[in-house]
Structure 1
Amino acid sequence: MNTDAADIEAIEDVVATVERTQRARDADGFLSLFHPDALWTTGHGKVLVGLDAIAEFTRSVLPAAEWDGEVTYEVVHTQFLRPDVAAVKVRQVYRSAEGESEGVPLYVMTRRDDGAWLLHVCQNTQVHVGEHRR
């Protein structure tokens, strides 16, 4: 399948915005990245169906989130399922004085008619120390 470099760049920009809004604890900025019918599963297994549920959860946890380090998000693989649907594997690293912890989110993103990419189905998975990663 042919992929457009502009689509890859736009997808990477969404992931960079996820990082930026997480660091800033910006719930509204984070929520603007989601499709209205989004499905989100947190790193601890909480399933959130629809933007309203995602918004309620995000507004209750993100502004008060406490970490004393930084978080980074890196796109490690993008696979187009259709020209307007992409599976995006992300490496998420939290660094603090206590060390690092890692997550490996999978974002299924969809492209709107105006070309904007949105988070549509997301699964955030925490990596446990000692587990084999690929």
Structure 2
Amino acid sequence: MTTENTARAADIAAIHRVVAEVEASQRAKDPDAFLALFHPEALWTTAHGKVLVGFDAVSAFTRQVLPGASWAGEVFYEATHVQFLRPDVAAVKVRQLYRAPEGDSEGTPLYVMTKQDDGRWLLTVGQNTEVRQDG
């Protein structure tokens, strides 16, 4: 395996770890752990179309909704596709499943993640989309 392939494999593994950390923070309903994954200049759109520009907006929304979220701790996130746009920018397609007393819901977010100078990958842009069962 070439050095370039080894580096790419390490980046893909790191991106998968970030998605796993999203899952863990959602399961724990832990805003601090979730917010630690975001770039300071994040742009985020929720599954219901609320646009959040900048870390402060993402933080305010997350701190309002995550601790009281209605799912029973059963959330699953899986990175299903990683496409590098540049060596330090990746588009990541994610499958998410929430199990709640009132019924399950599924989402299909797209994350744009950026690699920082220290090697960490952060969520920089996110567009979440609810998967509707009726159409």
| Same fold? TM cut 0.5 | yes
1:35-114 matched pairs, under 5 angstroms: 35-68=39-72, 70-114=74-118
**How far did 1:130 drift?**
4.1
Q: TM-score, normalised by structure 2?
A: 0.91
Distance 2:18 2:74 in 1: 18
RMSD: 1.6
Aligned equivalent of 2:32: 28
2:114 aligned partner, one-letter code: T
Q: Is the 8 A contact 2:71 2:101 kept in 1?
A: no
Tell whether the 8 Å contact from 2:28 to 2:73 is kept in structure 1 after alignment.
Answer: no
- Give, in whole Å, the separation in 2 of the partners of 1:19 and 1:43: 16
Identity of aligned residues (%): 68
Match of 2:9 in 1: 5
Count of residues paired in the alignment: 131
Q: In structure 2, what is the Cα distance between the partners aligned to 1:21 and 1:71?
A: 10
Amino acid at match of 1:11: I
Alignment gaps of 5+ in structure 1: none
Give 4+ residue runs of structure 1 displaced > 6 Å after superposition.
none
Q: Is the 8 A contact 1:69 1:97 kept in 2?
A: no
- Quickly say closer, same or farther: Cα 1:96–1:58, change in 2 above 3 A: closer
Q: Report the AA paired with residue 101 of structure 1.
A: S
Instruction: Classify 1:62/1:69 alpha carbon distance in 2 versus 1 (closer, same or farther; 3 Å).
Output: closer
Unmatched 5+ residue regions in structure 2? Answer: none
